[in-house]
Each structure stands twice: as structure tokens, then as C-alpha cells.
Structure 1
Amino acid sequence: MNTNITPRFDLVGIVVSDMAATLAFYRRLGLEFPEGSEGQPHVEAALPGGLRIAFDTEETIRSFDKNWEPPQSAGRIGLAFHCEIPEGVDAAYEELVGAGYHGELEPWDAFWGQRYASVLDPDGNGVDLFAPLPGPPA
């Protein structure tokens, strides 16, 4: 048996309070989930590059950790979606805010050379939208 195995980063897991609302949000960002996933306690999606993202309901977590409680402050993770071009950031932001999601940071030209914006998912997790600006960073 080989005991020199190196763990490989494989999955980002997020605990959600409302699976249907969460999947609706992330579908708007291009993630694909099987039809009917809204009623499942655990849902996964493959990401480009071989990683996976998984969503578990609060009830699922409590099924194996009876003392688990959701954080009382804002989300504790951040996800970022590359929007290819600066106009893509604006379009994604407007689409999400127009659908009723909270716009945390309106699109702006960041000093590090990206068009950048942030929205919150249904559980308050920050989701950044970004794309490179033309030319070198300012």
C-alpha cells in the first residue's frame, strides 16, 4: 500500500439554506445541475479544470453534525467568475441585480487592471465578477 499519497484539491462545498434559490442563482452564472436537483439535499456541478462545487442543505450537515449552526455573520467564502470582457462584468451584474439579487459592489475599473463587481448569493456569500481591462494595469 502506498502511504505517500498527496491529497488533491477537488471540491468547494457550500452549506445552503434554500437549495432551489441557490441553484437558480448559480445557474444564472452558467453552472449546470441535473433537472430536479432543487429538492435534493446534496447537489454537485463539474467546474472547468476538473474541480467540483457542491451544495448541501443545512439539514444535511445536521444529519451528521447535530451541533452545527450556520454562521451568524455574512458569508465566509468568496467565489469569482471570469466574465471574459469588461462588458461581460456589467452584463452579468445587471442580470443578477435585475433578478433581485443583492449588488454588493457595482462594476468599476479596479486599479489592478480588471473590471470588477460583487453580488451576494442567497446565503450572503460574496460572488465576484471580473474581466481584464485592455492594456497594462494602471
Structure 2
Amino acid sequence: MSIQLAMVGIVVEDMARSLEFYRRLGLDIPSEADTERFVMHRMASGVTLFFDTVFVAGNDPARAPTSAGTYNLLLEFYAGTREAVNAKHDELVGHGYASRKAPWKSPGPYAALVEDPDGNVILITAEDPNADI
């Protein structure tokens, strides 16, 4: 069996604030999860996102936060169409989330970059990221 991505963990400062962002992005995460320290969400693709508060992540003695303006994680979400990318970018920015780059035709897919509440960069694309794999 070949190795496959199963989970992506995101360390968050404020669970409710972070889950609100990902709900606005389009994930169906129940609001009851807002008070948890650890939340798992399995996506239709089979990949599981887990959200971990800094309190729980504090069990890693070597953990060091990233510097302001940098990030260690970029997540790509496939929106389907250019119009959907534009709409999702505008919706998130309209709710106060920072745009790293407005929608544009990159050398690859049509895309937009938005920051989640913890400074992770979210790439929203129109072209299927698995089309050429």
C-alpha cells in the first residue's frame, strides 16, 4: 500500500473563532464543537482535519509558534468555479478575515488566499487539485 494523507492538524488559539471561519469556508462542523479542546472533522475526500487548542498542543515540549506574518501550513480547498472562488473570498473578507491575495489566475489554478484566525493561509481554487495526478 502506498502512503496516503489521512489527517491534517491545525493548532488554534480560540476553538470557537477558528471553527466559525471553517464553517464560513463551507465545512459542516456542529456548533457544539466550539467548546471542545480537540475537534475532528472528516471531509468527503476522506481526509480528516483536526483542530487542537494550544492547551492540548502544549504537550509537545518542542512546539514553537510561528512568527507574525509567516505560516507553516497552507490548506487548499477546491471551490469548483471561478465564481465560487470569488464569492467565498468576498464572503470571508466581508466577515473580517484577512485576504492575502484577491482572486487571480495564478500560473496554476484560479485562486485566492485568505488567512484563518490563527494566521494559516487558505488557498481557495477553482480547478480540481487532483485533475493532473
Q: In which range does the TM-score fall when normalised by the shorter chain?
A: 0.7 to 0.9
Tell me: CA distance 1:89–1:11, structure 2 relative to 1, closer, same or farther (3 Å). Answer: same
Distance in 1, matches of 2:12 and 2:91, equals: 22
Task: Figure out how many residues of one structure are paired with residues of the other and give that number.
Answer: 126
Is 1:31 aligned with 2:22? no
Aligned match of 2:117: 122
Give the C-alpha shift of residue 68 in structure 1: 3.2
| AA at the equivalent of 1:93 | H
CA deviations on 1:82-126 (whole Å, 9 max, x unpaired) are 1111111100000000000000001112233x3211000001111
Distance in 2, matches of 1:23 and 1:52, equals: 14
Give the C-alpha shift of residue 27 in structure 1: 0.3
Tell me: CA distance 1:66–1:111, structure 2 relative to 1, closer, same or farther (3 Å). Answer: closer
Distance in 1, matches of 2:33 and 2:11, equals: 15
Give the C-alpha shift of residue 36 in structure 1: 1.5
CA deviations on 1:20-46 (whole Å, 9 max, x unpaired) are 111000001111223311110000111
Gaps of 5+ in 2: 128-133
Is 1:46 aligned with 2:42? yes
Is 1:59 aligned with 2:55? yes
User: Secondary structure of 1:81's match?
Assistant: strand
User: Secondary structure of 1:50's match?
Assistant: coil
Larger radius of gyration: 1
Give the C-alpha shift of residue 7 in structure 1: 5.8
User: Secondary structure of 1:27's match?
Assistant: helix
Root-mean-square deviation (CA), in Å? 1.8
Answer yes or no: is the 8 Å Cα contact 1:11–1:53 preserved in 2.
yes
Aligned match of 2:78: 82
Distance in 2, matches of 1:10 and 1:55, equals: 14
Q: Percent identity?
A: 36
Gaps of 5+ in 1: 133-138
